[in-house]
Amino acid sequence: MKNIDLSLSYSLLEKCCKLCTHSLATPCSLFIECLKKGPLCHEDAVCQSKKEQRRDFLLEKTPQITYVTIGMGSCGLAAGAKKVYNFFARQIKKKDLNVVLKETGCLGLCSEEVLVRIKKPNQKPIYFGNVNVERAAEIVDLYIEHGYTPEGYVLGDLTAKNPNVEGPIKLDRLEPFRKNYAQRVVMKNVGIIEPTSLEEYILKGGFEAFNHVLKSEDNFIEEIKDSGLRGRGGAGFSTGEKLELFAQENGPKVVVTNCHESDPSAFSNRALLEGNPYLVLEGLIVAGLIGGATKGIIYLKPSYTLAYTNIKRALNILEEIGLLGTDILGSGFEFQVEIKLSSGTFVAGEETALIAALSGKRPMPESRPPYPCHRGLDDRPTLIYNCETLANLPSIIVNGAKWFRNIGSKNSSGTKVFSLSGKLRRIGYIEVEFGALLREIIFDYGGGIKDNKTFKAVQIGGPTGGFLPSSLLDIPIDYETLKELGISLGSGSIVVLDNESCIVDITRFNLEYMSKESCGRCIPCREGIYRLLELMETIIMRENQNDEDSSLKRYQVLSQLEKLAKVISDTSTCGLGENVANPVLSSLRYFKEEYEAHTFRKQCLARQCKGLLDYKIDAELCRGCTVCVDRCPEGAIVGERKHSHFILQDKCTRCGICLEICPFEAIVVS
């Protein structure tokens, strides 16, 4: 690499010279401050210059260097980020470019992956979306080497106040994502810094809260209570009150960060852990120090392999430099952290089931009290927080409760990270202040409904979450509003449905998924879900017999569904059972006409329920090519060559193969 000082490869975590006193054996209490402003233990112009150069390098301020950062979270890797990264690496080496290649996590624009950020000397960074190897070649040749901006896949500048005027970008595609990025508290450095670079994390304000808690005797519990922070895992209990109860207990104590993220449509916790593991670890350590615990556990979903790798690497670095272990920075405090993998089941995210899993038992919820903060893992007081909850603690400690209270709505302080998926133009995660309108989340940040279709409904909170119709698009998203509507935030997933989605079919799918996830302890949940599923199956199929008993059974479904759903919600032991009927109750409340169409008219208005569809062949369009006859797996199509064919309804399974392969579009679905 041309004209680049090799001293930039020096790490701020290393000793700058022999005069530096920090080591595991002789920890320095000023280590965090020294990394930002040092050296502080001695005066040396050479050391000062060396550290300043390194800080400028990490903050992308070194002259003559172009920084290329590739989004390599799970979504980026799935889109081919590794190939793009390797291509850039080869080109940089081949052309001997003054370019530094970096990795980062997911910025939140999952539908634009592979995402590439380029920061040229004395210019603002520019983002390129949907980058593949061919586009990477254009970026190197046109933009990096000659300063010309390729058109078509430039997203713009994330920080520009007037992006259509500033810089070389004529068309900016980062609005309104830029507005969303400005609101971030938890995810502000995700997709920006290198995930396992402790230097970058500290230079961006990391471990300032840790340093404050380690050295101060302030009442941090009152500060957290005054902030109004509530659990981000779904229940919304006061974080400060929970910490206060835990701190009052005596004896060995444990803090657990729940990173299980049971909801299959949620991925924001994964993005946080992959993109900024140090923030969660700092929150975990801070909670442990305040609550008097000496041990922390990261309870992680086994499928989150990249998150595991980054957390493990971060833990090793913290232990190597003395920010974890015994006598942390000479303070006398001790805190150890280990990673435990969950069983991967939905119910394993419930806190008493979590404790059972950590104890080597089958993850099954227990009745409460006693609550885990009084008696939990190994009968020790156990404080359990969702990882997003812990990630809020450092900013509250640094900026104060009043600052946090000014974010969000009156009774729901701060921000919430949501996973956006479904029939949206822009898939990814967003972080918005509580009180943001549902319409703003879907149509501004989510880009609206893809393929210019019509919005139908949104499901909030995963497979146990409720549906909301278009008439409620202008509600504010906060704990109180959703509670009034009978909906829980859950893990913060938002799944958007368009006019071609069938509410009845999706509700049935949710029940089918949850029927396999019940732990089986209590009868209402274990048996009730299957009974709900049986009732749903009744109305998405035509009965084989047209007798009075079959018709009566079908007509009774609606009243039975609602009655059974309420019984399950009222009598189940844990939150899973209490919420599992939410999709049924909310869909009956807002989309009863779809149930009535399925039940009484035997019609699926969205044409998604195969059991209610009729496949017929238009005799005028059919040319008798026999393609459908040969391909039908059930032998349900008959007819001679060059004569129109016919579908035998009693054999047809509505698989749709004939519809896909007919060259004359003669298949009619009704």
Q: What is the Cα–Cα distance from 390 to 73, expressed in whole angstroms?
A: 21
- Per-residue pLDDT reduced to its tens digit, 302-351: 999 999 999 999 999 999 989 999 888 888 899 999 999 988 788 888 88
Residue 202 in this model has a pLDDT that exceeds 90: yes
Return the pLDDT at 118.
94
Which residues contact residue 562 at a Cβ distance below 8 angstroms, ignoring those fewer than 6 apart? Answer: 584, 585, 588
- State the residue for tokens 């833990």: 315
- Residue in the structure block whose two tokens are 């302080």: 413
> Which token pair is 614?
């009729």
Q: Give dist(CA 617, CA 647) in Å, integer.
A: 7
User: How far is it, in rounded angstroms, from Cα 149 to Cα 170?
Assistant: 10
Q: Decide if 302 contacts 344 (C-beta within 8 A).
A: yes
Which residues sit opposite 429 in a β-bridge? 419
Give pLDDT tens digits for 28-85: 888 898 888 888 888 888 888 888 989 999 999 988 899 999 999 999 999 999 999 9
pLDDT greater than 90 at residue 279: yes
- In this prediction, residue 489 carries a pLDDT of 85
Cβ pair 74, 270 in contact under 8 A:
yes
Burial per residue of 402-417, b for 16 or more beta-carbon CB atoms within 10 angstroms, e otherwise = eebbebbbeebbbbbb
Mean pLDDT of the chain: 89
What confidence tens digit (pLDDT) does each residue in 112-139 have?
999 999 999 988 889 999 999 999 999 9
pLDDT tens, position by position, 563-601: 999 999 999 888 788 888 999 999 999 999 999 998 888
66-175 topology per CATH: Glutaredoxin (3.40.30)
Question: Tokens at residue 335, please?
Answer: 């805190």
Q: What confidence category does residue 424 fall into, taking pLDDT thresholds of 50, 70 and 90? A: very high
At residue 504, the 3 state secondary structure works out as: helix
Domain at 614-669: CATH code: 3.30.70.20
CA atoms within 13 A on the CB side of 93: 6
Total length of the chain: 670
- The pLDDT tens digits for 593-652 are 999 998 888 888 888 888 888 889 888 899 999 999 899 998 989 988 989 899 888 888
Architecture of domain 407-499: Roll (3.10)
- Least confident segment among 169-178, 245-254, 408-417: 169-178
> Is the sign of the CA dihedral 404, 409, 414, 415 positive or negative?
negative
Under 8 Å between Cβ of 287 and 295: no
**Structure confidence by residue, pLDDT tens digits, 223-255:** 999 999 998 877 788 999 999 999 999 999 999
* CA–CA dist 422, 432 (Å, integer): 19
Domain ranges of the chain: 6-58, 66-175, 210-405, 407-499, 502-612, 614-669
DSSP-derived secondary structure letter, 565: H
* Fold (CATH) for 502-612: de novo design (two linked rop proteins) (1.20.1440)
Assigned fold of 210-405: Rossmann fold (3.40.50)
Identify whether the C-beta of residue 232 lies closer than 8 Å to the C-beta of residue 416: yes
- How confident is the model over 496-508, as pLDDT tens digits? 999 999 999 999 9
Closest listed residue to residue 136, CA positions, set 123, 119, 150: 150
CA distance between the termini of the chain: 66
516-554 confidence digits (pLDDT tens): 888 888 898 889 999 999 999 888 887 655 556 666 777
- Specify the amino acid at residue 129: G
Task: Identify the band that residue 144 occupies on the pLDDT scale cut at 50, 70 and 90.
Answer: very high
The pLDDT score that the predictor gives to residue 164 is: 44
Q: How far apart are CA 11 and CA 199, in angstroms?
A: 8
Percent of the chain whose predicted confidence (pLDDT) is above 70: 94
265 three-state secondary structure: coil
Instruction: Give residue 624's identity as a one-letter amino acid code.
Output: G
